[in-house]
Amino acid sequence: MRRPITFDCAGEALVGALDEADGAHGLLIVGGGSDVRWGSHRLFARLAQALAARGYPVFRFDRRGVGDSDGEDAGYTASGPDIAAALAEFRRLCPRVDRVTGFGLCDGATALALFAPQLDGLILANPWLTEPSDDLPPAAAIRHRYRARLTSASAWRRALTGRIDYAKAARGLVRIGRREAGALGQRVAQALAGKPATAIIATGDATAIAALPFLEDRLPITRIESASHSFAGEDAFAALVEAVLHALGQQRTRSS
């Protein structure tokens, strides 16, 4: 059963939703950007329903200034108190839950890694780990795109007929050769040290591609064949559900 929830964070009323289940391992969902609690393409609502049907209670919420919640939206870097308040409310509503894993998409994943040490595990979906310095994607995403284009007949036809922005292409090549500082990625990588965490990556998503250098060799990664940042499409969504279930099972096993 799904229940609407209202709770307090620093004097502001936050709105959430609880998908109830009988299990003792819960999932706290944190959206990215200004995503509301149901998510793009109703991703979070559908994910919560699917997991609750498998015995995992799931809690979602709108942080301050987002969706139906009161207050001002100060962005993901100020969302630590919101996550803590949501976790406390989740545990209050479900006292039988003895373990809570956080699931975050995009900068929601970043916020969980940096500001939620009280969680028992993390699932990071297409995490936001590289801040842009101009209007180009991060270098890792550019490298991925150029590798794909070098094997594409249509891309060669576009080059030969002059239908390419050569100035932008040149800037992309310069960025490929320049080492990025990656301060945010390094902070998240350090914060993940010693934590039970899993990453879920959409193989064609630029944000996910840029995150990979900071995640590889540090935690398990599940790759889903999709270009959608929010795993749109039935195949991608089904793969996401299975990846989350697998991660929850693995984290529960490691804690036993």
Q: CATH top-level class for 2-131+182-255?
A: alpha beta
- Tens of pLDDT along 34-72? 999 999 999 999 999 999 999 999 999 999 999 999 999
Query: What are 45's two structure tokens?
Result: 């609502």
What backbone torsions phi and psi does residue 79 show, to the nearest 5 degrees? -90, 5
Q: Is the pLDDT of residue 139 over 50?
A: no
Q: Is the pLDDT of residue 143 over 50?
A: no
Q: Is the pLDDT of residue 198 over 50?
A: yes
Q: Is the pLDDT of residue 141 over 90?
A: no
Q: Is the pLDDT of residue 150 over 90?
A: no
Q: What pLDDT does 170 receive?
A: 47
Q: What pLDDT does 161 receive?
A: 62
Domain ranges of the chain: 2-131+182-255, 139-177
> 182 falls in which pLDDT band (50, 70, 90)?
confident
Task: Count how many residues are written for the chain.
Answer: 256
Query: What are 7's two structure tokens?
Result: 């709770």
Q: What pLDDT does 178 receive?
A: 42
- Where are the extended beta strands (E) located within 45-153? 58-61, 99-105, 121-125
Nearest-angstrom CA–CA distance, 204 and 159: 22
Alpha-carbon distances of 250 from 27, 43, 124, 157, 215, rounded to whole Å: 14, 23, 15, 47, 18
- Tens of pLDDT along 202-219? 999 999 999 999 999 899
Q: Are 12 and 70 in contact (CB under 8 A)?
A: yes
Q: What pLDDT does 84 receive?
A: 97
Angle between helices 166-177 and 139-150 (to 10 degrees): 120
Element of type H or E holding 146: helix 139-150
Q: Is the pTM of this model over 0.75?
A: yes
Q: Is the pLDDT of residue 152 over 90?
A: no
- Tens of pLDDT along 81-126? 999 999 999 999 999 999 999 999 999 999 999 999 899 999 999 9
